DNA sequence: GGTCAATAGTTGACGATTCAACGAATTCGC
DNA sequence: GCGAATTCGTTGAATCGTCAACTATTGACC
C-alpha cells in the first residue's frame, strides 16, 4: 500500500501558503498529489493484477502504436526518461519475450524495438482493463469538468514550456 | 536532462483514445505529463542549485511545519511513500545533520523526527527560491485559471477517493 | 579523405522507491 | 495477565530512474 489516501499536503507547504500569491504553490501541490494518488493506485493495480509495472506498461503502449518499431531514442523522448533507463527496460522485456531488438538498416548505431506477437496480445489485454480503471477513477467528474480540466492542463503546460524557453532551461 | 519538452503522449495511448469515451484516458495522460514536466524541472533545479532532491526537500518541508517533530509513520503518510523509504531518507538527512531522531516518550516503538536548527535554516533558504520557481512556471496562467484548475483538481481527487472507497481499494 | 563534433546505445555507480520479511512494542480479546 | 493481531520502524532484494563515461557510428567541415 503506497500509504495515504488522506495525504493532501504533499510538500508540507500548503499551510505556509496562506497569504496572498501562494496560489501557484498550492496549485502545484494539489496537482502533484492528485497525480500521485492516481499513479499509485494504477501502479498497485498493475502489479496485483498483471504483475507488471507502469514503466513496462508505458513502454509496451508506445510500441503498440508503432507496429514498425521505434528506436530507443524515440522511446526515451516519448516516455520522458533517460536512454539508460530505456536500455534496461527493453533488456527485461526482451528477456520476457515481449519485445525484440533489431538493428536499424539505415543507421548502424541505432536499434529498433518492436512488440512480439505475444507482447502485443499481452498489452492489449492489459490496456482494456487499464482503461476501465481510469474511467472508474475519473467517473465522478462530469464530461464538462473533464473537458475543462483537460484544457486548463494544456494551458499549464504551455505556461511551463514558455517559462523554460525564456530561461533557457529546456533542451531546445 | 529528463529528455522531452515535446513528449506529450505519456502512455502512448493518446492516439488509441480517439473514439468516444476515452476522454478520461486522455485527461489522465495529460495530467501525468504536466505533473512530470514540472516535477522534472523542479528536481533538476533543486539538484543544480542546492545539490538536493525533491524527496529530501519534501521531507524537510513536512518537518518545518511541525516544530515538535513527527513520527516516521506520519511522514510516510503525508509524503505518500512507504515507511522503508522514509527510514532511508531520514538516515541520510540525519547524517548531514539536518534532522534528528529521538524516541517517542509515549510509544517505545515510535521514533520522532525533528529539524535541527541547521536543517531549518537550510530549508527556509531553499523554500523561498523554490516558491519563486513555481510562481515562474505557473506565471502564464491567470489567477482565474489557477483558481479553476485548483478547484477541478479537488473534484478529481474526490472522484478518485470515492472510487477507491467503493471498491475497497484504500487502506481505510 | 581526415578530423572533429554530434548522436545512439550501453554500462557503472548511485539515489529513490517498492515490497516482503522481520523484530520489537502495543493493543485487543479473553 | 496471556496470547493473538496490529502497528512501528528497519532491512534486504528488486525495480525505476538519473548522471557520467564510454564505444561505435554518423555527419559536418575543411
Average pLDDT rounded to a whole number, residues A78-85: 94
Q: What is the pLDDT of residue B22?
A: 84
In Å, how far from its chain's centre is CA A25? 23
What are the distances in angstroms from CA A19 to CA A8, A14, A15, A16, A26?
19, 11, 9, 8, 11
* pLDDT score for A92: 95
Among A31-35, A88-92, B16-20, B163-167, the range scoring the smallest mean pLDDT is: B16-20
Tell me, rounded to whole angstroms, the distance of Cα B160 from its chain centroid: 18
Q: Please, are residues B32 and B23 in contact by the beta-carbon 8 Å criterion?
A: no
Whether the pLDDT of residue B2 is over 50: the answer is no
- Report pLDDT digits (tens) over B129-156: 999 999 999 999 999 999 999 999 999 9
Label residue A13 by pLDDT band (50, 70, 90).
very low
- Closest-CA residue of chain A to B2: A81
Task: Provide the CA B12 to C1' D21 distance, Å, integer.
Answer: 31
Q: What positions of strand D are covered by protein, i.e. any atom < 7 Å from a CB?
A: 7-13, 15-21, 24-27
Which nucleotide does the CA of A84 lie closest to, via C1'?
A: C10
What pLDDT band is residue A14 in, cutting at 50, 70 and 90?
very low
Neighbours of A72 (CB within 10 A): 18
**For strand B70-71 and strand A99-103, is the pairing parallel, antiparallel, or unpaired?**
unpaired
Long-range CB contacts (within 8 A, 24+) of A108-111: A110/A71, A110/A72, A110/A73, A111/A71, A111/A72
Confidence of residue B21 (pLDDT cuts 50, 70, 90): low
With a cut of 80, say whether residue B49 has pLDDT above it. Answer: yes
Name the nucleotide with the smallest C1'–CA separation from B58.
Answer: C16
Residue corresponding to grid cell 508503432: A66
- The beta strand positions in chain A, using DSSP E, are 70-71, 99-103, 111-115
Dist CA B92 CA B89 (whole Å): 5
Res A167: pLDDT:
53
Using the predicted structure, report yes or no on whether residue A154 has a pLDDT greater than 60: yes
Q: What is the DSSP letter of A92?
A: H
pLDDT of B167 reads: 53
- Count helices and strands in chain A by DSSP H and E runs: 6, 3
Whole-number Cα distances in Å, B140 to A24, A158, A161, B67, B143: 11, 8, 10, 35, 9
Check residue B156 and give its pLDDT: 94
Q: What are phi and psi of A70, to 5 degrees?
A: -135, 145
Task: Answer yes or no: do A160 and B83 touch at CB < 8 A.
Answer: no
CA distance B60 to chain A (A): 8
pLDDT category of residue A16 using cuts at 50, 70 and 90: very low
B171 pLDDT band, cuts 50/70/90, is very low
pLDDT tens digits for B100-129? 999 999 999 999 999 999 999 999 999 999
Question: CA B104 → C1' C28, Å?
Answer: 22
pLDDT, tens only, B79-98 = 999 999 999 999 999 999 99
CA–CA–CA angle B129, B131, B134 (5° rounding): 115
Q: What percentage of chain B exceeds 90 in pLDDT? A: 66
Lowest mean pLDDT among A43-57, A138-152, A158-172: A158-172
Task: Give the three cell numbers for residue B72.
Answer: 516516521
- For chain A, give the mean pLDDT: 85
How crowded is residue B45: how many other Cβ atoms within 10 Å of its Cβ? 17
Each residue of A104-122: pLDDT tens digit?
A: 999 999 999 999 999 999 9
**Residue B47: predicted pLDDT:** 87
For B4-26, what is the mean pLDDT?
52
A99: Cβ contacts below 8 Å, ≥ 6 apart:
A59, A60, A63, A90, A93, A113, A114, A115, A116, A119
Q: Please provide the average confidence, as pLDDT, over all residues in chain B.
A: 84
The pLDDT > 90 percentage for chain A reads 72
Amino acid at each position: 500500500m503506497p500509504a495515504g489516501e488522506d495525504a493532501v499536503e504533499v510538500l508540507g507547504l500548503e499551510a505556509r501558503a496562506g497569504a496572498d500569491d501562494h496560489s501557484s504553490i498550492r496549485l502545484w501541490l494539489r496537482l502533484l498529489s492528485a497525480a500521485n494518488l492516481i499513479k499509485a493506485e494504477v501502479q498497485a493495480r498493475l502489479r496485483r493484477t498483471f504483475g507488471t509495472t507502469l514503466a513496462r506498461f508505458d513502454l509496451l503502449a508506445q510500441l503498440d502504436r508503432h507496429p514498425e518499431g521505434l528506436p530507443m531514442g524515440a522511446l526515451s523522448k516519448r516516455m520522458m526518461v533517460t536512454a539508460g533507463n530505456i536500455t534496461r527496460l527493453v533488456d527485461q522485456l526482451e528477456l520476457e519475450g515481449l519485445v525484440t531488438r533489431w538493428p536499424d538498416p539505415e543507421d548502424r548505431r541505432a536499434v529498433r524495438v518492436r512488440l512480439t506477437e505475444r507482447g502485443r496480445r499481452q498489452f492489449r489485454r492489459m490496456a482494456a482493463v487499464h482503461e476501465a480503471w481510469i474511467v472508474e477513477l475519473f467517473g465522478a467528474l462530469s464530461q464538462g469538468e473533464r473537458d475543462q480540466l483537460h484544457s486548463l492542463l494544456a494551458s499549464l503546460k504551455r505556461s511551463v514550456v514558455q517559462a523554460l524557453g525564456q530561461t533557457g532551461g529546456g533542451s531546445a
